[in-house]
Amino acid sequence: MGKKNATPVKSTGDPFAEEEQKSNLKARWSAYWDSGKGKILVTVLGCLAVFAIVVTVVLKTWIKPPEIPIQPAPEKKPTQQQPVGPVQDPEDEEPAGPTDDELYPDDGYNGDMPTVSGNRKDGWYTFLLVGTDQDDGNTDTIMVVSYDTKNQDINIMSIPRDTMINEKWDIKKINSVYSRTGNSIDSLAKRVQKLIGFKPDFYVKVELEMFVKLVDLVDGVEFDVPQDMNYDDDWQDLHIHLKKGVQTLNGKDAMGLVRFRRYSEGDIKRVEVQQSFMKALIKECLSIKHWGKIKAYIDLAMENVETDLDSGSVVWFAANVLGLNGVSALKMEDVETCTLPGDYWDSAWSRDTHQDQSYVTIYPKQVVELVNESFNPYEQKVNTSMLDAMSILKNGDIASSTGSVKDTQHNAVMAVRRGEAYYDDEGNLVYGQPPAKPKQDELGNWYIEGEDGAIVYTDEQGNPLTIDPTLPPEDLEGGETVQLPSNGEGQSGGVTPNPEQDPGTTTDPGTTEPDPVQPDVPQDPPPASEEPGQDEPALPPEEEWVDTSVMPDGI
């Protein structure tokens, strides 16, 4: 009988089998190496390892945060230095009369705008986002964006297109800077700096055509249109027809939405609608269902976006937004929008269009508060002295918070319109009332009317005369007389005696000098008649008179 419940004995196997397998593997690898195939495999694996290391290093050096550009310090202008040579720009010459600096005294501004500098907040980056219109080259969309990459906060501030800036030209709206300065983004960024106190680190310029393509790329954006929109402009080939309410807008309709301006609330409502649609578009683009379109996003951006960011920095920002850099992904509730604080109902006269132009003039204190809270990347605070805030006075003049207005013509034109100044015949501006032009009366005499209505006789140039030409000549002071008009026969018509003159003197009609007084002589006997006839003998000359009282008898 066999044993029950016997425990099977586990075989330990042949202890020399493992050694035999190792020996066989070594023999096979030796044979594989000797055949040359092993050398090729090792070479390939080595190259792949080196390539992997290189790619890792390149990505680390390529995909990285951008370097912050160093902002140059403002150049110091020499004091008390007179210009040498002719004036280069005639627009810089001040008009005659009071200058703008005299009208608006200097408040301490010496020509060098102060600016923020020094330490920066960790992980903060700022951008100037610009949308250009291909029709006129103006930048109707201007936004300042700050991105806190550590806390995943994005703030977007819209700068209204009609914001007034301190410029020489007539219509001083910020949306015209780009086209007027030869499509210079840097010039636009410097003007923005004077409005917010710092210059954005980088810029992103987007052609509006990309906006249409991006909306179509995500198959439209759902949006609540605030009102019925109907507008047709054949010159711009712009036709907007939208109904109020929630709807999915394609690219063309979305473009009409953001370009529509006829709101009862003015341009402030247009900016608000743009901001709301921008948030809706960003939300749609970041939706998981569109992640497969990342390459299409990149291709679209390469065709329509101009920026001073390198491609590695763009990839780094994209990775940070998606939460791939060790931080959580960006959420839409962390994207805040606002508008530059200011008066949206201001206006000023335009000498080019001969009508008022609408403007937005900023509120410096509110701007500083908003910038320091959400946009300033520096630890140093922005203050109002760093801003060039324009204002429009009640009399139509314009002024700058710096105390210096670049447009030297506007206030002069307004002074002329108010009757406080005039242009002379040579085109020079003269402050005060213009001189009255002389007129001629029926006798050909030139005259002007004084402020009290009195007639003042002048010469042909309007210079007042010292003698009234309509009255007979009168004696001059000092006993002098003037010659009367001729009687037509070449003889003088007589003289006018001076009642204050010594009765013993006479005045020669041909001279104004009196004759010397004659010495005392015996008085002449009275004539027989006060009016002797022409046939009466003339009396002897005075030197022939004889004193009869001493004559001998019989004579």
**Of 76 and 194, which is predicted with more confidence?**
194
For residues 55 and 46, give the distance between their C-alpha atoms in angstroms, rounded to a whole number: 14
What is the 8-class DSSP label of residue 550?
A: G
Q: Check pLDDT > 50 for residue 90.
A: no
Structure tokens given for 283: 């939300």
pTM metric for this prediction: 0.63
Amino acid at the residue 118: G
Q: What is the mean pLDDT of the chain?
A: 75
Strand partners, 338: 157
Q: Check pLDDT > 70 for residue 512.
A: no
Predicted confidence at residue 464, as pLDDT, reads 85
What average pLDDT score do residues 488-494 get? 41
**Of 18 and 352, which is predicted with more confidence?**
352
**Of 118 and 548, which is predicted with more confidence?**
118
Hey, is 280 helix, strand or coil?
helix
Confidence of residue 99 (pLDDT cuts 50, 70, 90): very low
Structure tokens given for 431: 């402050």
pLDDT tens readout for residues 391-427: 999 999 999 999 999 998 999 999 999 988 988 878 8
Predicted confidence at residue 210, as pLDDT, reads 86
What average pLDDT score do residues 131-137 get? 68
**Of 387 and 93, which is predicted with more confidence?**
387
Ranking 84-98, 150-164, 312-326, 420-434 by mean pLDDT, the lowest is: 84-98
Sign of CA dihedral 57, 58, 59, 64: positive
**Of 66 and 42, which is predicted with more confidence?**
66
Predicted confidence at residue 15, as pLDDT, reads 54
Q: Check pLDDT > 80 for residue 173.
A: yes
For residues 436 and 416, give the distance between their C-alpha atoms in angstroms, rounded to a whole number: 16
What average pLDDT score do residues 251-270 get? 86
pLDDT tens readout for residues 439-450: 888 888 888 887
Q: Which of 421, 302, 305, 407 is nearest to 348 (CA)?
A: 407
Task: Number of helices (H) and strands (E) in the chain: give both, helices first.
Answer: 12, 19
Q: Check pLDDT > 70 for residue 194.
A: yes
Structure tokens given for 116: 């923020």
**Of 462 and 99, which is predicted with more confidence?**
462
Please, are residues 400 and 388 in contact by the beta-carbon 8 Å criterion? yes
What average pLDDT score do residues 263-271 get? 82
Encode burial over 381-394: b for 16+ CB neighbours within 10 A, e otherwise.
ebeeebbbbbbbee
Q: Check pLDDT > 70 for residue 12.
A: no
Confidence of residue 79 (pLDDT cuts 50, 70, 90): very low
What is the 8-class DSSP label of residue 321?
A: H
Q: Check pLDDT > 90 for residue 374.
A: yes
Predicted confidence at residue 353, as pLDDT, reads 93
Q: Check pLDDT > 90 for residue 197.
A: yes
Confidence of residue 453 (pLDDT cuts 50, 70, 90): confident
**Of 240 and 54, which is predicted with more confidence?**
240
Q: Check pLDDT > 90 for residue 503.
A: no
Contacts of 433 (CB under 8 A, 6+ apart): 419, 422
